[in-house]
Structure 1
Amino acid sequence: MHADQLTVSPETVRTLVDEQFPEWRRLPITGVASHGTVNAIFRIGGRFTARFPLQAGHVGSIRRRLESEAEAARELAGRTRFPTPEPVALGEPGAGYPLPWSVQTWLPGAVATDEDPGGSVAFAHDLADLIRDLRAIDTRGRTFAGEGRGGDLQSHDAWMETCFEHSEQLLDVRRLRQMWEDLRSLPHKAADVMTHADLIPGNVLVSDGRLAGILDVGGFGPADPALDLVSAWHLLEAGPRQALRLDLGCDDLEWERGKAWAFQQAMGLVWYYLESNPAMSRMGRRTLDRILADRSPV
């Protein structure tokens, strides 16, 4: 998926676990099939999950990122009625793998890419409960850190231009450019709140059509309140999407900014992962189709 992508084998994971966490030597190592783009994932026994960054980088920078993600996970743990992974340990480079890696608790459930909850109004109500729970957590005076999605829409113009250029043979770019021109100008008026920041199907666990847990919580932090509304477009069909909006009481500006963040994310998925991760590419296309089908005014 990435030019600098690392290979992580079960044998490497076995060696790293045995050397660094000998108390787990008797636990089986099992690879986890995933459409994720950031980590290779392996189960350690029935209780733990090991996550190995896929892209090469500076060891110190990767360690600081993993420590920051663990801190975010600890802050979120127990703050919502939905389970979230909790940090267990931080591993070091070794056995030919050049980076630090992390261990978290394992959560049961099917990811929403495998068990689509898009038509479930009950799931939409659960999702609204989750977003309310996240927003209710004290920011402790923190604001958006200024990287990635969650601040100024117009700061993403250069990336969006790259996406449009690479999508000419894939999408109706002329129409999408006009939509971005409208969306990018939506003002950011609301104060930052705590957000998950990446509520895509691969980070959502489902059981019997209900929300069963949330994964990849390392990005938990302050951002535009509309950011977690990407879930409305990534996860829900029209009826449940409206139920989510009514539950949260979103005004037009907040709702449209949520659409803008989903649009920005989806545009990058379609072309970038077209060959290397078709499921992610299809997710982006589906999100854009939902946005294009929605005729509410910007």
Structure 2
Amino acid sequence: MRASTMHADEMDHDVPLVRRLVAAQFPRWADLPVEPFDSSGTDNAIYRLGGDMAVRLPRRPGSAAQVEKDLRWLPRLAPLLPVPIPVPLGEGEPAEGYPLPWSVYRWLDGENPSADRLTEPSLLAKDLAEFVAAFRRIDLPDGPPAYRGGPLSMLDAPTRAAIDELRGVVDTDAAAAAWETALKAPGWAGPPVWIHSDLMPGNLLVVQGRLSAVIDFGTVGVGDPACDLIVAWNLLPAGVRNDFRTVLQIDDATWARGRGRALSIALIALPYYKDTNPVFAANARHVIHEVLADHENAA
């Protein structure tokens, strides 16, 4: 059975497979119940294991390297951050017809926030700014390059291709103009800093409106700090966006690159996920609307 398929090269996975993998490689957990968890995550399929653990199966070969990356870096990053992050409990090997490494983590409570249902937006903006600031202060040597840590110009071709593909779906003239503005912003001239680089709503957990955990560190590494500003447009309302910026003391160029990064991610994601991941696609539409409104107001 192939559940919640999003990619052409996605691996087959289901509850019986997870039970066999766990029983064979972690027999101490063999009797725990296994349940699929409905997630909008694009890289990993999630299954609950008992009451306090999660099994993560990479959806496709390109996501498999995250397993080793998590095992190496998450235990070192966790004590340096203000909210909990996933803690690996075990690394699984390919078996039972599943060809990729997989992993078991401690379950983190909370729910994914939604831009239209925030109960404490001002406090959440403060929480997110504190998390981003803490990440930027991390001083761990030999950090890997962040997945989105390079110059914005690297995304020019796929972003323009996405704009062409979205003609008739979004205001592509306005999107192209906003993208051009972002490309004109000066690049990051400082040393690379640690960044999560994928602060999407699906990678955040909240309890009573406040940030309770940050998950999915597959893109973590060092690079341009503008990458972690995408949350200002994919989640935070315009009324608290500047509060987030003020706490972080973001200069105009970095803010412009962050806005461009958020726009690029959304433009590329919308045509790819519009039929397979409605939550991700809806957020992409939201981001495009927010960025274009922001760009118009700044003009």
By the TM > 0.5 criterion, same fold? yes
Q: CA deviation at 1:115?
A: 8.5
Q: CA deviation at 1:293?
A: 1.1
SS at match of 1:217: coil
Q: CA deviation at 1:245?
A: 1.0
Q: Deviations over 1:23-49 (max 9, x none)?
A: 001211111110111111011112211
SS at match of 1:226: helix
Whole-angstrom distance in 1 between the partners of 2:115 and 2:48 = 18
SS at match of 2:79: coil
Bigger mean CA offset, 198-207 vs 171-180: 171-180
Q: CA deviation at 1:139?
A: 4.4
C-alpha contact 2:135 2:195 (8 A) present in aligned 1: yes
**What residue number does 1:282 align with?**
282
With normalisation by structure 1, the TM-score equals 0.92
CA 1:191 to 1:56, structure 2 compared with 1: closer, same or farther past 3 Å?
closer
C-alpha contact 1:93 1:99 (8 A) present in aligned 2: yes
Q: CA deviation at 1:103?
A: 1.2
1:149 is aligned to 2:148? yes
User: How is 1:13-24 mapped onto 2 (pairs within 5 angstroms)?
Assistant: 13-24=18-29
User: How is 1:130-169 mapped onto 2 (pairs within 5 angstroms)?
Assistant: 130-140=131-141, 142=143, 145=145, 148-169=147-168
C-alpha contact 1:118 1:235 (8 A) present in aligned 2: no
Whole-angstrom distance in 2 between the partners of 1:141 and 1:34 = 32
With normalisation by structure 2, the TM-score equals 0.92
SS at match of 1:77: helix
Whole-angstrom distance in 1 between the partners of 2:262 and 2:75 = 27
SS at match of 1:2: coil
User: How is 1:103-114 mapped onto 2 (pairs within 5 angstroms)?
Assistant: 103-113=104-114
Whole-angstrom distance in 2 between the partners of 1:114 and 1:11 = 35
Aligned-pair identity in percent equals: 37
SS at match of 1:222: strand
Bigger mean CA offset, 11-20 vs 133-142: 133-142
**What residue number does 1:55 align with?**
60
SS at match of 1:90: strand
Q: CA deviation at 1:117?
A: 2.8
SS at match of 2:94: coil
Bigger mean CA offset, 88-97 vs 200-209: 88-97
1:241 is aligned to 2:241? yes
C-alpha contact 2:91 2:101 (8 A) present in aligned 1: yes
Bigger mean CA offset, 34-43 vs 48-57: 48-57
Q: CA deviation at 1:141?
A: 6.1
CA 1:38 to 1:118, structure 2 compared with 1: closer, same or farther past 3 Å?
farther
Bigger mean CA offset, 169-178 vs 25-34: 169-178
Q: CA deviation at 1:164?
A: 1.5
**What residue number does 2:3 align with?**
none
Bigger mean CA offset, 279-288 vs 246-255: 246-255
**What residue number does 2:85 align with?**
84
Alignment-mate amino acid for residue 13 of structure 1: V
Alignment-mate amino acid for residue 174 of structure 2: R
SS at match of 1:289: helix
Q: Deviations over 1:213-252 (max 9, x none)?
A: 1010233221111110001111100112111111111121
C-alpha contact 2:52 2:106 (8 A) present in aligned 1: yes
**What residue number does 1:94 align with?**
95
Whole-angstrom distance in 2 between the partners of 1:77 and 1:225 = 19
Compute the RMSD of aligned alpha carbons: 2.0
Equivalenced residue count is 292
CA 1:237 to 1:35, structure 2 compared with 1: closer, same or farther past 3 Å?
same
User: How is 1:120-199 mapped onto 2 (pairs within 5 angstroms)?
Assistant: 120-140=121-141, 142=143, 145=145, 148-188=147-187, 189-199=189-199
CA 1:209 to 1:25, structure 2 compared with 1: closer, same or farther past 3 Å?
same
C-alpha contact 1:117 1:206 (8 A) present in aligned 2: no
Q: CA deviation at 1:16?
A: 0.7
**What residue number does 1:204 align with?**
204
Unaligned runs of 5+ in 2: 1-5
1:3 is aligned to 2:8? yes
Q: CA deviation at 1:162?
A: 2.1
Unaligned runs of 5+ in 1: none
Q: CA deviation at 1:181?
A: 1.6
Whole-angstrom distance in 1 between the partners of 2:71 and 2:161 = 32
